Structure 1
Amino acid sequence: MRNKTFDKIKAVACILVILIHCKFPSVIGDLFEALARFGVPMFFAIAGVYLAKKNDDITLVRKGLSKKLKKTGIITLKIWGVYTVYSFIYAMAVHYGAAAWFHEKFNLFEFSRLILFNSGKFIYDFTYAFDHLWYLFALIYVYGLCYIFAPVMKTLSKPLTFILILFLYFGEFLQLFYPIRPFGISVSVWYVIRNWLFVGIPFTMLGYWMKQDEVTLKLEQPLTLGSALSVTGVFLTFAEYKIFGSVEVYFGSLFLVVGLLIVGLNAEQRTHEKRPDAEKGRPAKYLAFTGENLSSNIYYFHVIAISFFGFVIDRTVPDAYANTLFMYLRPIFVIIITILISLLLYMVKFITVNSNKNLRK
């Protein structure tokens, strides 16, 4: 049975991620951005929960990972293709020049950034500015490495989690207080810390071993603890933002991810015990539906929505950016547009799948 709690968490997380790239004005926007930083680590952690079943042998683990790797690779290629076509059309619309566009994106330096850090202009440029697709490329790395090291994955999952998370926060400490330049690359550059190695692997392994070890069964009141950790994570994130400003992954984000994992795994355990929690009202059902069917496309396409919305505003009412009300409404418009795009894609897929089923009958 599907875990509706994780679906709701994904729905909230993917909408909050939009507020990293399209912020509300003033301190409200900063606080939402800080809180939203838990979103992508949460996606990796949920991926870790479903990395393998508890009793799978190595052959079955690798078979499942092979399917995930193939599916993620195809999705990544499609989404990257959409953004590349969009980027080219945008660049031509503003008379940037095809040759300039091509050489800026596709060169050895940018390709090396993609390979090493899951970033670079290979996957983002001036036309849409944000490299959110790093998540998909990092997920490919995670699945690929888990496939290679499947025989020792369970043994290494805990030490990898703790060691790499330690390196993640040590790297952020360096960013804040001692910005060194190893190999000529400043540690202050966002992708040096936020990549497959320091975010993707540890948070995926966190979700994996918490599920494998049945952590919620070892806790007396998992729901209470999970809720307490989540609430603590929210306030800790706000405190860290006030003290340190913007960072990639707050310590409060880790509290949030662990707390929400406990809440979600507890809900899954209740379902297995045939004690499912009832859906309370339409908002909960809408959240679960959004998380299950729309969250991926909301994450994939929100940057196009931001870019295109900005393109239209720049050429119609550029003075709108000076209007405070508009700047507060702008993220809401983008969220609505992105959800509508995702809903349209879901409906097209739903109709296509059902039509194919009817044709086979």
Structure 2
Amino acid sequence: MRNKSLDAGKAMAAFGVVFIHVSFPGQTGQIIKALARSAVPFFFMVSGYFCYYNRRNTDRGKRITDKIPAKVQHILTLLAFAVLFYFLWESAMHLVEKEAIGPWLQEMVKKEHLKELFRYNSTSQLKPHLWFLPALIYCYILDYFIEKLHLGKLAYLSVPVLLGYFLWRAYFGRFQGVFYHTMEYRNYFFMGMPFFLTGQMIHEYEKLLDRKLSWQVLAVGGLLGSGGIIWEYFQAGAREVYPGNVLLAVCLFLLCILYDTKSRRLEYLAVLGREFAFPIYLLHPSVAELMKKLADFLGISRNPAYLWLRPILVCGCTIFLVRAVSRLWSSQQKCGIVFRRHN
């Protein structure tokens, strides 16, 4: 049986990713963006949670061989689709803006940019938000070797160390005058693996956590994390991540895992998270670009009402587009249009 709370959490996290890239105006928008930065750690924990298997299983080797490579292949397929889509999209945008495509292509395949892709999962030359997919592939590959070499418990012990390095590079280091480029901490190793492994740990010790943690404790933890993020924003200004994001993401994930709801009120959110979280993540930048061009054409791009509605409109239009494409694709398959047999 699917976890409705977790599916709804995935939908909220997808909206959080949208709010990171399409901000509400003013300081309120920056606070919402700071809170929304818990979304990516949440998604890494989801991936780790569903990649867990029982280490006491005697058929461990076979399960590794079957499970992780299949997941890598799935993400590679999604990444290939995303790269193709945004290559065509950016090419079309260059043509619309009457800009030369050649220099853009040359810039994208420069040696230093390819090194950043393979070393740090940086996809900034195409679309920055796509970095999550190669990072997740690296996490699966690392987990494959962790399990093959029976290093699961040791990997769990590395989680606080990796989180410490991550927060030092992303947040605390700046107070000592040490600065890191975003890609030097927002990558598979410092951001991906600690949360990925945390998701696995939560799965392994789920029964124990269920006995020890009440929903009230997790709710208070989430509120403390949220309050910490807001306080950290006012103290340190805009950052890529805050320590409070770690607490908020973990508490929300535990609430979803341990306290699944049966309420019908979350049904629509659960459906969105189950079926459309990835398409929302993938397509929202293109929807935002189209909306910006439309707003410029209509002369409302600086209108306060539009600026406040813009993130919500991007979410709504992206959902509408995804659902429309999904229904069209489904109807075509049923009618035999997509894979039509030729005589």
TM (normalized to structure 2)? 0.91
**More deviation in 62-71 or 244-253?**
244-253
Q: Name the amino acid aligned to 2:315.
A: I
Alpha-carbon shift at residue 88 of structure 1 (Å): 0.7
Alpha-carbon shift at residue 115 of structure 1 (Å): 0.9
**More deviation in 3-12 or 143-152?**
143-152
Q: Name the amino acid aligned to 1:143.
A: Y
> Is the contact between residue 165 and residue 202 of structure 1 (CA under 8 Å) also seen in structure 2?
yes
Write the mapping of 1:186-197 to structure 2, written as runs, cut at 5 A. Answer: 187=180, 189-197=181-189
Partner of 1:290: 272
> Is the contact between residue 237 and residue 253 of structure 1 (CA under 8 Å) also seen in structure 2?
yes
Partner of 1:301: 283
Q: Pick from 66, 70, 75: which aligns with 2:69?
A: 66
Partner of 2:82: 79
Q: Pick from 158, 161, 180: which aligns with 1:160?
A: 158
What is the CA deviation profile of residues 305-336 of structure 1, one whole-angstrom value per residue up to 9, with x for unaligned ones?
Answer: 1122223333x13x423221121122222111
Secondary structure, in 3 states, of the residue corresponding to 2:23?
Answer: coil
1:133 is the counterpart of 2:130: yes
Q: Pick from 130, 140, 143: which aligns with 1:143?
A: 140
Count residues with an aligned counterpart.
334
Secondary structure, in 3 states, of the residue corresponding to 2:212?
Answer: coil
Secondary structure, in 3 states, of the residue corresponding to 1:83?
Answer: helix
1:347 is the counterpart of 2:327: yes
Alpha-carbon shift at residue 153 of structure 1 (Å): 4.4
1:251 is the counterpart of 2:243: yes
> Is the contact between residue 7 and residue 274 of structure 2 (CA under 8 Å) also seen in structure 1?
yes
Q: Pick from 227, 237, 257: which aligns with 1:235?
A: 227
**More deviation in 53-62 or 227-236?**
53-62
Structure 2 CA distance, aligned partners of 1:112 and 1:120? 11
> Is the contact between residue 41 and residue 203 of structure 1 (CA under 8 Å) also seen in structure 2?
yes
1:333 is the counterpart of 2:333: no
Secondary structure, in 3 states, of the residue corresponding to 2:79?
Answer: helix
Structure 2 CA distance, aligned partners of 1:179 and 1:251? 18
TM (normalized to structure 1)? 0.86
Alpha-carbon shift at residue 136 of structure 1 (Å): 0.6
- Seen in structure 2, the aligned counterparts of structure 1 residues 349 and 219 have a Cα distance that, compared at 3 Å, is farther
Partner of 2:38: 38
Q: Which has the higher contact order (CA 8 A, sep 6+)?
A: 2
Q: Pick from 258, 266, 278: which aligns with 1:266?
A: 258
Partner of 2:174: 176
Structure 2 CA distance, aligned partners of 1:215 and 1:109? 47
**More deviation in 29-38 or 158-167?**
158-167
> Is the contact between residue 3 and residue 267 of structure 1 (CA under 8 Å) also seen in structure 2?
no
Over the aligned positions, Cα root-mean-square deviation in angstroms equals: 2.1
Q: Name the amino acid aligned to 1:304.
A: S
> Is the contact between residue 229 and residue 245 of structure 2 (CA under 8 Å) also seen in structure 1?
yes
Structure 2 CA distance, aligned partners of 1:251 and 1:160? 18
Partner of 1:100: 103
> Is the contact between residue 146 and residue 152 of structure 2 (CA under 8 Å) also seen in structure 1?
no
Structure 2 CA distance, aligned partners of 1:336 and 1:354? 27
> Is the contact between residue 154 and residue 209 of structure 1 (CA under 8 Å) also seen in structure 2?
no
What is the CA deviation profile of residues 249-307 of structure 1, one whole-angstrom value per residue up to 9, with x for unaligned ones?
Answer: 21111111221222122136xxxxxxxx42243xx111111110111110111111112
Which 5+ residue runs of structure 2 have no aligned equivalent? none
What is the CA deviation profile of residues 176-227 of structure 1, one whole-angstrom value per residue up to 9, with x for unaligned ones?
Answer: 22454xxxxx61x211111111111110000101111226546434322222
Partner of 1:47: 47
Q: Name the amino acid aligned to 1:155.
A: K
Partner of 1:310: 292
> Is the contact between residue 62 and residue 150 of structure 1 (CA under 8 Å) also seen in structure 2?
no
Alpha-carbon shift at residue 230 of structure 1 (Å): 1.4
> Is the contact between residue 15 and residue 315 of structure 2 (CA under 8 Å) also seen in structure 1?
yes
- Seen in structure 2, the aligned counterparts of structure 1 residues 311 and 243 have a Cα distance that, compared at 3 Å, is same
Q: Pick from 218, 226, 229: which aligns with 1:226?
A: 218
Alpha-carbon shift at residue 132 of structure 1 (Å): 0.6
Secondary structure, in 3 states, of the residue corresponding to 1:321?
Answer: coil
